[in-house]
Amino acid sequence: MQLQRAQRNSLYLPLRSKFIILFCLLITIPFLVIGAITYEKYSADVERSTVKLSYQIVNQIHINLERYVKEIERLTLMPLYDEGVMHILKQHSDFNRVNTYLTTDETNKMNLFISSLSFDRSEIESILIFTNDGSVFSNRDQSVRKQWDQSMSDWMAPVKEKDGGLTIIPPHDARYYVETKNGIVSISRVIREPYTNNMLGIVKVDLTSRGFETMLSSVSFGGSSQLRITNSEGDLIYAASDNVPYINESYLSASEQSDYTGLRVTAFIPRDEFRQDARALTRYTLIVSLLALMAAYAAAVILSNRLVKPIAHLQSKMRQVRRGLFQERAVVTTNDEIGQLTEGFNSMIGEIDRLVKEVYETRLREKEAELSALQSQIHPHFLYNTLETMNMLALQGNGPVLSNIVTSLGKLLRYTVDKQERLVHVLDEVKFAQAYLQIQAIRLGDKLQAAIHIDSSYDYCLVPKLILQPLIENVIEHAMGSGTVQMTLTASVEDDDLILTVKDNGIGISGERLKRLEEQLQAGSESRSLIEAQQGGFGTIKKGFALRNVHQRVRLHYGEPYGLFVDHKANCGAAFHIRLPIQWGE
């Protein structure tokens, strides 16, 4: 046995540690495997998608570029359809005649014709026609020379080789401008007489980069990617950026060549760029894996706590019950066997508490009967003050007022002594309050103005005896200031409950006193303590217990949610509401 126990101790591993290890294995390893597979799969998919998209874009650029070249080509063919232009070119077609004089009429006609071709074409730098005798016609009169010579004709050789075919000239120096322009891309062809096929000159369209930029500006493959346009010989016509792909770098390329123009559009995309997304996904996966691992630790701790904590909580409540605290209840936090055990414990303790309270409240109600007898006594100070007032009135010879006091005092004594019922009619309680107010009015004079607004339909509602007088006395004791206090007694119905309200506009209740009063009203002290506190002498009621006396009597008789409630506004008086269930007497 000892050996087996020692083996169990040596192999002991806390349940919480088991949860942590299990969650680490179930989450970390799958995430690492999934991350590696996802990276490879995503990289391959991105590369295929990028290649497909690149070819689609390059093909569209190739179509647009071919259409653009054809538009420019039509411009180079226009001189063949204008008789005036052809006539002028024939006049200057002799190679042996050099530096021939150009008439004003010839210049104007040619300039007008060429200007019409370049109208609203901002991508055209200039359109030029070079004649055989060295003359130059252009839409740029001020910036283009009027004559050309062999030093300016390096670009003419490939044009003449095409023998009237379209020639795309790669970037070259155009020295026929007054200020030489470098890197000019041109489209040119030889102009021949249709019938004799004799060469009449060369038409040349110099292009700016704006036309190519318009086609390529909306296309981007990334920060280091590049779009290049080259001719059939591999000469660079246009590059969308200055980035040059190096041989030692890994690039993905997509290319398309036009059979008509011979131009090739090529896109170079660094593989690192489209793999950045895959690397970002990998980083994201690693972060998620780390977070998942942390979550696994947290989940293991939380789950182990959820398993152990309810048991410890139930154990602590059992210790409290063992000390006699039957109000203790265990919180049900799980919906499993432990939760069912906790609910059974609560039910058992609740039944024990009910049985204890049943016996205890029986004794409380016996004490409450004693309290009722005690409450039927007139406050001795009030009685002393009333007798002294009667003595003063007798000495003054004020017989009618003295008679009223004696009558009112007689009503009070008759109500408290003759009637021992615990429940009385609202009408009787109001008459008692009126008699009490009549006596106080003689003593206080104009300092207290009282009004009773209770509809006669409530006259035969049953209420506990002597519940209004303590509220009126509270106004006299605590709400009176240097001025006049107005007090109102009203009754209303709310949700089938009777609400009796004593409201005043006196000095109000301070925050600290209001808090203390609410604590007294809601105090857990039983009626036994209340009775003992009030039995300091015949008919004496210590200050601070009268209101709680009313609240406890109503609460003992009717239960929750009935009782006395305070409605207070700073420096604006106070209102005390007694909520009772409506009961009708005969």
pLDDT tens readout for residues 311-358: 777 777 788 877 777 777 777 777 777 777 888 888 888 787 777 777
Instruction: Answer yes or no: is pLDDT of 16 > 60.
Output: no
Summarize pLDDT for 438-461 with one digit per residue, the tens. 888 887 888 888 889 988 888 889
Phi/psi of residue 576, nearest 5 degrees: -115, 125
pLDDT value of residue 194: 85
Cβ proximity of 293 and 25 under 8 Å: no
- 1 band by pLDDT with thresholds 50, 70 and 90: very low
pLDDT value of residue 363: 64
Q: What percent of the chain has pLDDT over 90?
A: 4
- 150 band by pLDDT with thresholds 50, 70 and 90: confident
The letter for the amino acid at 8 is R
Stronger pLDDT, 458 or 572, i.e. the higher one = 458
Other C-beta atoms closer than 10 Å to the C-beta of 160 total 14
Instruction: Answer yes or no: is pLDDT of 371 > 70.
Output: no
pLDDT value of residue 203: 92
Stronger pLDDT, 64 or 100, i.e. the higher one = 64
- 489 band by pLDDT with thresholds 50, 70 and 90: very high
- 569 band by pLDDT with thresholds 50, 70 and 90: low
CA distance 550 to 466: 8
Instruction: Answer yes or no: is pLDDT of 377 > 60.
Output: no
- 168-204 burial, b for 16+ CB within 10 Å, e for fewer? bbbeeebbbbeeebeebbbbbbbbeeeeeeebbbbbb
In the three-class reduction of DSSP (H, G, I as helix; E, B as strand; rest coil), residue 262 is classed as coil
- 530 band by pLDDT with thresholds 50, 70 and 90: very low
DSSP string, 499-543: EEEEEE-SS---HHHHHHHHHHHT----HHHHHHHH-SSTT---T
- 244 band by pLDDT with thresholds 50, 70 and 90: low
CA distance 323 to 330: 15
Residue 552: which residues within 8 A CB-CB, separation 6 or more?
527, 530, 563
Question: pTM higher than 0.75 for the full model?
Answer: no
The letter for the amino acid at 267 is A
- 529 band by pLDDT with thresholds 50, 70 and 90: very low
CA angle 180, 182, 184 (to 5 degrees): 110
Cβ proximity of 127 and 139 under 8 Å: yes
Residue 320: which residues within 8 A CB-CB, separation 6 or more?
328
pLDDT value of residue 490: 93
Instruction: Answer yes or no: is pLDDT of 537 > 60.
Output: no
In the three-class reduction of DSSP (H, G, I as helix; E, B as strand; rest coil), residue 185 is classed as strand
Summarize pLDDT for 267-289 with one digit per residue, the tens. 777 777 666 766 676 677 677 77
Stronger pLDDT, 366 or 67, i.e. the higher one = 67
CA distance 325 to 345: 14
Mean pLDDT computed over 84-99: 82
For residue 128, what are its two tokens? 């030029």
For residue 529, what are its two tokens? 């303590």
- 420 band by pLDDT with thresholds 50, 70 and 90: low
Q: Half-sphere exposure of 87 toward its Cβ, with a 13 Å CA cutoff?
A: 7
pLDDT value of residue 501: 93
Instruction: Answer yes or no: is pLDDT of 161 > 60.
Output: yes
pLDDT value of residue 343: 81
Is the previous residue joined to 561 through a cis bond, with omega within 30 degrees of 0?
yes
In the three-class reduction of DSSP (H, G, I as helix; E, B as strand; rest coil), residue 582 is classed as coil
Stronger pLDDT, 381 or 130, i.e. the higher one = 130
Q: What is the CATH number of domain 83-208?
A: 3.30.450.20
Q: What is the CATH number of domain 376-581?
A: 3.30.565.10
Residue 568: which residues within 8 A CB-CB, separation 6 or more?
508, 509, 514, 574, 575
DSSP conformation class of 103: P
- Return mean pLDDT, the chain: 77
DSSP conformation class of 461: B
pLDDT value of residue 527: 40
- 33 band by pLDDT with thresholds 50, 70 and 90: confident
Cβ proximity of 413 and 376 under 8 Å: no
pLDDT value of residue 249: 54
pLDDT value of residue 541: 41
- 541-560 burial, b for 16+ CB within 10 Å, e for fewer? beeebbbbbbbbbbbbbbee
pLDDT value of residue 500: 93
Summarize pLDDT for 196-228 with one digit per residue, the tens. 888 889 998 988 877 777 766 666 655 567 778
pLDDT value of residue 2: 47
CA distance 542 to 379: 10
Instruction: Answer yes or no: is pLDDT of 92 > 80.
Output: yes
pLDDT value of residue 526: 42
Instruction: Answer yes or no: is pLDDT of 539 > 60.
Output: no
pLDDT value of residue 234: 81
